[in-house]
Structure 1
Amino acid sequence: MSDLESVADGLRAARAEGRSATELALRCRTELGSAFGVISFIAVFRSAFDVPLPVLQRAQAWQGFGWGAEQISDEEFSDLLAPWLTD
């Protein structure tokens, strides 16, 4: 099992425990450490929750990541991912 698959499994388990989208994203970043980036974020969330690529491309602008000039808030990030993080 690759690191990305292992992190995806951990995110699924954390979501089942009630973790929010922002908590999952922060966990992803922490677990991947120096391997964390736009591509790994998209790969892990796509694997864990089957989020469509265009949604993840928008989600990667979350202010918690600090990537790029145009950033989205915690609320927008959570709302964007909500349809795929349902129980």
Structure 2
Amino acid sequence: MDRLEKISDELKAAHAEGKNPIELALLSRGRLGSAFGTISFIACFRRAFGIPLPVLQRAQAWERFGWGEVHITDEEFSALLSPWLTEQ
């Protein structure tokens, strides 16, 4: 099992325990450490929850990530990802 797959499994388990999208994103960032970036974020969430790429590309603009010039708020981030976070 590779690192991204392991983290994806951790995200699924954390979601099953009631973690919200923000908590899951912060968990992935913490687990990946210096390897955390747009591609690893997208890969982990896509593997864990099957979220479509365009949704994840929009989610990567979350203000807490600090990537790029356009940012979305905590509320927008949660609203964007919540419909895709289902029991697997």
In structure 2, what is the equivalent of residue 28 of structure 1? Answer: 28
* Cross-structure match for 1:3: 3
**Which 5+ residue runs of structure 1 have no aligned equivalent?**
none
- Aligned counterpart, 1:73: 73
Indicate the residue corresponding to 1:86 in structure 2.
86
> Deviation at 1:75?
0.5
Distance 1:85 1:45 in 2: 9
**CA deviation digits over 1:37-76, x for unaligned, max 9?**
0000000000000000000000000011011110000000
Q: Which consecutive segments of 4 or more residues in structure 1 shift more than 3 A?
A: none
Q: Which amino acid aligns with 1:80?
A: L
Q: Aligned residue pairs: how many?
A: 87
Q: Alpha-carbon deviation of 1:83? A: 1.1
How far is 1:86 from its partner?
A: 3.1
* Contact in 1 for aligned 2:49/2:86 (Cα 8 Å): no
Q: Over aligned residue pairs, what C-alpha RMSD do you find?
A: 0.7
> How far apart are the structure 2 equivalents of 1:5 and 1:86?
18
Which amino acid is 2:20 matched to? S
Task: Give the residue type in structure 2 aligned to 1:36.
Answer: F
TM-score (norm 1): 0.97
Amino acid of the residue matched to residue 11 of structure 1? L
Residue by residue, what CA displacement relative to the aligned partner does 1:1-58 show, whole Å, maximum 9, x if unpaired?
0100000000000000000100000000000001110000000000000000000000
What amino acid maps onto 2:35 in structure 1?
A
